[in-house]
Amino acid sequence: MELKTKRLRVIPLHIEQMALLCEGRDKMQAALGLVSDNDAEDEHAKADYQEMYQQCREHPEDYFWYTNWQIVLKDENKAIGSMHFHGPANARHEVEVAYGISGRYQKQDCAAEALKAIGEWAFSQNVYYLQTKTDPDNEHSKGTLGKCGFKQIGTGDKGLLFELEKPASAWMSIYMCLGMSIGMCFGLPLNNMAVGMCMGLAAGVALGAGLDADDRKKRKRD
């Protein structure tokens, strides 16, 4: 599984690929068929990869929330950065994501493109609030988050906390139209389309209203 945007591929590493990353980034890149970035290995990053790998092994069914996601520039077939979650959503439907882009690609909006893609994926996985932290002095990062719709919600020891909320659902209007269409199909052979449309409309409104109410309930963080 991978996410695709206009310019990028965002690839969550399987457990085996994470093991290769722990041995060396060049081995992981070769396994994915990527052009080597020739960047120097970072000792702090290696320690993080080891921890992420252990988490993936302990949670194989949910490894997406623990693994490293490679950000690949399609035109160059090269990994230009990475992203990772800090575990699955908590009881408040919040997840935190961290990301980084290699130096010369940092001012090309690649981070914003990748963030939007992984945000859409997370929101499809019962996540309602996507959070990330950045340094107070990192104006470029703050600008990137602003472009993606993130808003600052707090300040902590590890930086400014930004958050993006999942767009509100509109199931009522969708199921209302669907219900009317189905009602027309049932009403037509009975020569009573009006009754069919009314019944379909009522069913669609009831179902859509229930789904929208459930959506609002999950957003509450009292």
Query: Average pLDDT in the 136-142 region?
Result: 88
Give the Cα-Cα-Cα angle 168, 211, 206 (nearest 5 degrees): 125
- pLDDT at position 128 over 80: yes
- pLDDT at position 164 over 90: yes
- pLDDT at position 100 over 70: yes
Cα separation, 207 vs 172, whole angstroms: 7
The residue type found at 157 is D
CB contact at 8 A, 97 and 131: yes
Cα separation, 73 vs 7, whole angstroms: 6
Tokens 């992981």 identify what position? 28
- pLDDT at position 15 over 90: yes
Cα separation, 111 vs 105, whole angstroms: 9
pLDDT band at 60 (very low <50, low <70, confident <90, very high): very high
Sign of CA dihedral 59, 60, 62, 63: positive
Q: What is the pLDDT of residue 163?
A: 94
Closest listed residue to residue 145, CA positions, set 112, 123, 118: 112
Segment holding 81, helix H or strand E: strand 78-85
To the nearest 10 degrees (0 to 180), the angle between helices 139-147 and 110-123 is: 50
pLDDT band at 7 (very low <50, low <70, confident <90, very high): very high
Q: What is the pLDDT of residue 18?
A: 92
Query: Average pLDDT in the 27-49 region?
Result: 81
Q: What is the pLDDT of residue 157?
A: 72
pLDDT tens column, 114-124? 999 999 999 99
The 3-state secondary structure of 184-206, one letter per residue: HHHHCCCCCHHHHHHHHHHHHHH
Closest listed residue to residue 89, CA positions, set 114, 115, 124, 53: 124
- pLDDT at position 176 over 60: no
Task: Indicate the domain borders of the chain.
Answer: 3-165, 171-219
Query: Average pLDDT in the 143-169 region?
Result: 86
Q: What is the pLDDT of residue 126?
A: 85
Q: What is the pLDDT of residue 105?
A: 87
Q: What is the pLDDT of residue 206?
A: 60
- pLDDT at position 205 over 90: no
Indicate the CATH number for domain 3-165: 3.40.630.30
pLDDT band at 25 (very low <50, low <70, confident <90, very high): confident
pLDDT band at 37 (very low <50, low <70, confident <90, very high): confident
- pLDDT at position 201 over 60: no
Segment holding 155, helix H or strand E: strand 151-156
Q: Please, is 42 exposed, middle or buried when counting C-beta atoms within 10 Å of its C-beta (0-12, 13-18, 19+)?
A: exposed
Closest listed residue to residue 39, CA positions, set 116, 101, 99: 101
CB contact at 8 A, 208 and 175: yes
